[in-house]
Amino acid sequence: MDINFLVIEGNIGAGKTTLSTMISQKYNAKLILEQFSDNPFLPKFYKDPDKYSFPLEMSFMAERYNQLKKQVADQDLFKNFTVADYYFMKSLIFSKSTLQEDEYSLYRKFFDIIYQNIPKPSLYVYLHLSTERLLENISKRGRSYESEISADYLKRITDGYFNFFSQQCDFPVVAIKTDELDFVKNEDDYRKIERLIFEKSYSKGLTRVIP
């Protein structure tokens, strides 16, 4: 595919940042990483979701908009394309799972206004792992503020992604089942994903792939 803006995304613990970084290094791509670790509401949210979900989601939406709008628009002449480990609609998916109905209704109004100004990806790649594998990966990286993440929460996020994919046709989405792959330690597994991204063409909408 002719890729100018590539998005690598997935649920918490899917490996999106790792894969985005590997691709950026191999293909001389400009790398955009979500700066979630600096968000002061994140640890508070995991301890008390009801109290901190709305300020968390609003702050994430503002940060994602500012970063994507600026960095995707600012082309680097010395890079071949741009790759990001998140996309703006992530805000809508996570907020749907965390906010109360009235909060989500207000949040959606802000989102719809902003979304029309966000650059659309040439290709959106979703790394699809089972809830069990996600929990294993989360446990391995040992972030204290992620220790409260539940299987039910992860499942709601996964369902939210696929609900969004079923409704959007602005850009091509390829969902790659990666439960049986280890693209960090196994070169053959990495190459499988690499070929799916760079050697295939996809129509707008969702395509599911099991390598």
- DSSP-derived secondary structure letter, 6: E
**Cα dihedral sign for 191, 183, 167, 118?**
negative
Q: Which candidate in 2, 48, 85, 170 is catalytic?
A: 85
List, edge to edge, every strand of the sheet that includes 82-84: 30-32, 82-84, 5-10, 123-128, 172-177, 205-209
Gap between the Cα atoms of 200 and 30, Å rounded:
21
Q: Which among 102, 94, 157, 160 is positioned nearest to 131, based on CA atoms? A: 157
**Helices of type H across 74-186:** 90-98, 101-115, 131-141, 151-167
85 is catalytic: yes
Catalytic residues: 85
